[in-house]
Structure 1
Amino acid sequence: MYNANLNVLKCVINGPGNYVPHDEANKGYDLLTSYNFAFILHLMKEVMKIMDDLCQSLQQKSQDIVNAMSLVYTTKSLLQVLRDEACDTLFENVKSFCEKYVIEIPIMNDRYKAGRGRARDLVTLGITFG
């Protein structure tokens, strides 16, 4: 569905007239073709796969508390494995997705450049986090 969404946005962007939907479609297209979106999309896909078994089991009427707690523990363990060991696979999947759809991949070793916004303003005022 990703490609279909991009095509619809392109049609709105290239459509006749000069009105608000063109601007909104441009913003949507820029967001959908960003690395951040691709990363979050893949991360949420992995998390939802892990959570699906738990959700399906908890919806059954004949669920006992011991089995439910076991499912919660298993789900927590799988999420921890995703966090600790599956990051490389996740990044590779995101990279191949970005290459397929010609999305710019940021250089992760570059220095972070603080953007504009509330967090930066608070640091400028001398307020730090952590």
Structure 2
Amino acid sequence: MQLLPLRLTPGADLRPALADALRAQGWDSAFVVAGIGSLSEARLRYAGEPAEAVLAGPLEILSLAGSLGADGAHLHMAVADASGRVVGGHVGLLGNLIRTTAEILLAPLPDWQLTRAYDGRTGFKELVVRPR
């Protein structure tokens, strides 16, 4: 299995940077296997909430995982503040700004295509997995 370790640098915005890394490799589908690092600000949407919460940093990324596809990403993250309080949720579209580093491991899926389609049962665009 091919894996891509990468480092995001200070000031990078997490989701757009991951999308850029995917495109730079010529991939359209991958999973984020693991991620750690730090953020100067985070935007997370908590379970069942319609709006994103803005969290002021500094924050430590304790866990990052999810799927990346040509038409979107689904990422979850747990972060800790300077007092060690931990919160987690769905990673917002913009505003998860790298403070010092983010170390991430991507696993491409060359035999599969990940897309998103509206699911009337959930009310969200959900993962659709198709073999190539």
Structure with the largest fraction of strand: 2
The two structures have a TM-score, normalised by structure 2, of: 0.20
Higher relative contact order (CA 8 A, sep 6+): 2
**Structure number, greater radius of gyration:** 1
Structure with the largest fraction of helix: 1
